[in-house]
Amino acid sequence: MPLPEASSTASAKARGLLLGVTLGDAMGAAFEGHRHVDGEQLLQQERATTRLRYTDDTALTLALARHLAERSNPAPIDEDSLAVELAREWQREPWRGYGRGTREVFERVLRGTAWPEASGGGFQGRGSYGNGAAMRVAPVALVGTSPQHVVELARRSARVTHAHPDGQLGAMPQSCAVFLALHSDPEVPLERGRFLHRLARTVNHAEWRSRLEEVRELLDEASPASAAARLGNDATAGASVPLALLAFLRHPDHPAEAVRYAIRAGGDTDTTAAMAAAPTAARTGERGLPSAWLNRLENAATIGALAEALAERVPRCR
Ligand code: F2R
Ligand code: MG
Ligand code: MG
């Protein structure tokens, strides 16, 4: 699957990816924890003119993006540095709404504990299976050279805070979806069954294969509420990444619709909307994002500039 040739396309797609994550997060933040979100509530949020503020999902995505931008292939992740950089990002703006487990990991890292111990010490030594590693993983798709490479980068980026295997596994299909969408041609309809098959083959884990199979079963008809009832919509990786993938696959060429679907499903809305927007906007590029939302977004220029720095690293083909 060749990457479109023009570097302006790589730039537009990278900008779409990072700005899409941020918009999904910021649009969903107002509803995080709501059991149901009706169309009227969502419309009010869309019509508002107030600044759109993002949360921990974006803050950590940008920290990972900066980490990747400062390093070169073939080893773009240094876990010792990444753990400290993520923790410092939390320390800089702790009010962005972080998960309790991740906050505790960051406190330990900033006290000087090495990341394997800091990450492994959470949840009575089981480690976190929260969705915090999956929600921030999208930028690894910009530097990865193949699906296998991307999921390995995802696992390494995840384990500095999420020691539980499911916390790491959640980041793998999410990163792979963003990579495949980034390298897809938006002029050619996405073959959704084939897309899910590639995800399942790359992640190669029985429990996640069955989650992806459930997503396949819901591709054509499920309402957001029934999808949430079947797949889950909470702050764990296993009960949020499948819903986000479904939202993307329901609307692979329309980031705003993917975001609306994820938010209407309720629960961890900032995170599922951010994760749904990442592959969708990586596929369409920035032009797929509503300008009315972008105009309200905090730090949009800085985020766009970071995306352009990473766009230079997107491989031309694989
Ligand atoms: N934390 C929030 N939102 C609530 C507060 C927002 C409020 N508006 C505010 O401003 O304060 N959102 C963010 O957290 C989620 C990402 O979570 P992360 O980083 O993975 O954290 P954590 O705590 O490790 O895991 C999240 C939950 O998963 C469950 N869990 C994880 N591992 C577990 C284990 N081994 N055993 C049992 N439960 C486990 C827990 O319920 C954790 O709280 C995103 O939503 C982000 O937006
Ligand atoms: Mg959040
Ligand atoms: Mg959340």
User: Where are the chain's structural domains?
Assistant: 10-311
- From the CA of 215, how far away is ligand 1's center (Å)? 23
Q: Distance between CA atoms of 25 and 183, rounded to whole angstroms?
A: 23
Tell whether ligand 1 has an atom less than 6 A from the beta carbon of residue 123: yes
Judge contact between 128 and 162, C-beta under 8 A.
yes
Q: What's the CA dihedral at 169, 88, 60, 117 to 10 degrees? A: 10
- Is 250 buried (19+), middle (13-18) or exposed (0-12) by CB count in 10 A? buried
Tell whether ligand 1 has an atom less than 6 A from the beta carbon of residue 164: yes
Instruction: Supply the residue whose CA is at minimum distance from atom 23 of ligand 1.
Output: 101
Q: Give Cβ neighbours of residue 45 (< 8 Å, ≥ 6 apart).
A: 27, 30, 31
- From the CA of 166, how far away is ligand 1's center (Å)? 14
Model confidence band, residue 7 (pLDDT cutoffs 50, 70, 90): very low
Residues 210-226, mean pLDDT to the nearest whole number: 97
The yes-or-no verdict on residue 62 having pLDDT over 60 is yes
- Is 214 buried (19+), middle (13-18) or exposed (0-12) by CB count in 10 A? middle
Q: What's the CA dihedral at 180, 184, 190, 193 to 10 degrees? A: -30
Tell whether ligand 1 has an atom less than 6 A from the beta carbon of residue 235: yes
Residues 222-239, mean pLDDT to the nearest whole number: 97
The pLDDT value given to residue 36: 87
Instruction: Supply the residue whose CA is at minimum distance from atom 5 of ligand 1.
Output: 97
Tell whether ligand 1 has an atom less than 6 A from the beta carbon of residue 165: no
Architecture field, domain 10-311: Orthogonal Bundle (1.10)
Ligand 1 pocket test: which of 107, 108, 128 has the largest number of ligand atoms within 8 Å of its C-beta? 128
The yes-or-no verdict on residue 6 having pLDDT over 90 is no
The pLDDT value given to residue 204: 93
- From the CA of 103, how far away is ligand 1's center (Å)? 9
The count of other CB atoms within 10 Å of the CB of residue 287 is: 11
Instruction: Supply the residue whose CA is at minimum distance from atom 7 of ligand 1.
Output: 97
The yes-or-no verdict on residue 70 having pLDDT over 80 is yes
* 55 annotated ligand-binding residue: yes
Structure confidence by residue, pLDDT tens digits, 111-170 = 999 999 999 999 999 999 999 999 999 999 999 999 999 999 999 999 999 999 999 999
Model confidence band, residue 317 (pLDDT cutoffs 50, 70, 90): very low
Q: Of 73-82, 249-258, 291-300, give the lowest mean pLDDT range.
A: 73-82
Backbone phi, psi, residue 297, to 5°: -85, 130
Ligand 1 pocket test: which of 61, 166, 236, 275 has the largest number of ligand atoms within 8 Å of its C-beta? 236
The yes-or-no verdict on residue 250 having pLDDT over 60 is yes
Cα distances from 270 to residues 14, 22, 53, 79, in angstroms, run 20, 9, 11, 26
Tell whether ligand 1 has an atom less than 6 A from the beta carbon of residue 89: no
The count of other CB atoms within 10 Å of the CB of residue 257 is: 15
Q: Distance between CA atoms of 268 and 233, rounded to whole angstroms?
A: 6
Instruction: Supply the residue whose CA is at minimum distance from atom 35 of ligand 1.
Output: 128
The pLDDT value given to residue 74: 67
Residues 187-214, mean pLDDT to the nearest whole number: 97
> Which residues keep their CB under 5 angstroms from ion ligand 3?
268, 270-271
The pLDDT value given to residue 8: 58
Q: Distance between CA atoms of 233 and 263, rounded to whole angstroms?
A: 10
Residues 76-85, mean pLDDT to the nearest whole number: 96
- From the CA of 31, how far away is ligand 2's center (Å)? 11
Computed over every residue of the chain, the mean pLDDT equals: 95
Q: Of 74-88, 163-177, 243-257, 280-294, give the lowest mean pLDDT range.
A: 74-88
Q: Which two tokens stand for residue 234?
A: 């909470």
Instruction: Supply the residue whose CA is at minimum distance from atom 30 of ligand 1.
Output: 130
The yes-or-no verdict on residue 290 having pLDDT over 70 is yes
- Helix (H) / strand (E) containing 196: helix 192-203
Tell whether ligand 1 has an atom less than 6 A from the beta carbon of residue 316: no
Q: Distance between CA atoms of 141 and 145, rounded to whole angstroms?
A: 8
Residues 229-241, mean pLDDT to the nearest whole number: 98
Residues 277-288, mean pLDDT to the nearest whole number: 98
DSSP bridge partners of 236 = 130
What is the percent of the chain where pLDDT is above 70? 96
- From the CA of 157, how far away is ligand 3's center (Å)? 18
Tell whether ligand 1 has an atom less than 6 A from the beta carbon of residue 274: no
